[in-house]
Each structure stands twice: as structure tokens, then as C-alpha cells.
Amino acid sequence: GRMCQVATTGLVIALPMAKYLQVPAVYARKERNVVMADTYQAAYSSKTVGKNRELLVSKNHIDEEDRILVVDDFLSSGASQEALLRIISDADATAVGVGVLLEKVYDSGRQSLSGYNVPIHSLCRVASVKEGVIQLVEEDGYEFMSK
């Protein structure tokens, strides 16, 4: 197995997880560097930066036998995670799930990833952010409290 994440943002959570699970961590770069000759690449629209971006993973780091968990800090629109899932598919590897630290449930991320048929897990689910107040989803009974 392997873990795949976006360079810088996903590394904070992915590196300790990879060490704990004793699997290699493969990260997708947002820019090509000198040593990246042959890559898988996928375009996505970054809401954070407000423009189209591209993720690149060296073909030396993923192959068809790999089972890969996508790990990231935030699940918002799902654009970067979806780009990673496309890269995994292009490599004929197997995506086994998506794990994130924070999920903005009021955004479309989970829905946009539903076509990949992989489990999506988040440690903390944010229901709303209004007037400086962050409302978290409470797993038991939240639906009844929010009415």
C-alpha cells in the first residue's frame, strides 16, 4: 500500500500516518521540477488560489500493483482529491479511500468524489461557518439539534 497527498498541504497529516502505517508516502507536486521527467498529471480548479492548477506525480512512484489511500487536510470542493484519484486511475493502481482531517459538509466535496466508489473518512466535519462561529457536525443527534 501507499499514501498519496498534495505536496505541502496534505503532508502535515499524511507523513505521520504513513509512518504509523509503515507505508510509503507519495506526494503530488503542483509544479514540475528538474528531476520529474515522466509524470502522471491531472488538472483541477483550486478554490483556495482561485485558478486552475495541475498535480503531477512521477511515474516512478506509482504502479498498477499499488493500493493507495488519498490523504489531505481539507475536503471542500473535492477538486484536488478528485485529481489525485484520476492520477491513481491513470496509473492503473487501486484507490482504497480518501481520508481528511477536516470536511466542510456544506460544500460539494463528498458528492463530487462519489463516482469513484471509495470510502471517504473525515476526523472532523464542519457543518457551517457563520459570523465567526464554527459549527461542527455532532455524530449523534446533530440533525435533530439543527432544526
Does residue 79 or residue 142 have the better pLDDT? 79
Residue 43 phi, psi dihedral angles, 5° rounding: -85, 150
Q: Is the pLDDT of residue 144 over 60?
A: no
The predicted structure's pLDDT at residue 47:
72
Label residue 44 exposed, middle or buried (CB < 10 Å: 0-12, 13-18, 19+).
Answer: buried
pLDDT tens digits, one per residue of 50-95: 788 889 999 999 999 999 999 999 999 999 999 999 999 999 999 9
Can you list the alpha helix ranges (DSSP code H) found in the chain? 11-21, 79-90, 109-113, 142-145
Cα 83 to Cα 41: distance, rounded to the nearest angstrom: 8
pLDDT tens digits, one per residue of 21-51: 999 999 888 877 766 779 999 999 877 667 8
pTM, two decimal places: 0.87
Cα 100 to Cα 87: distance, rounded to the nearest angstrom: 18
Q: Which residues pair with residue 97 across a beta bridge?
A: 69
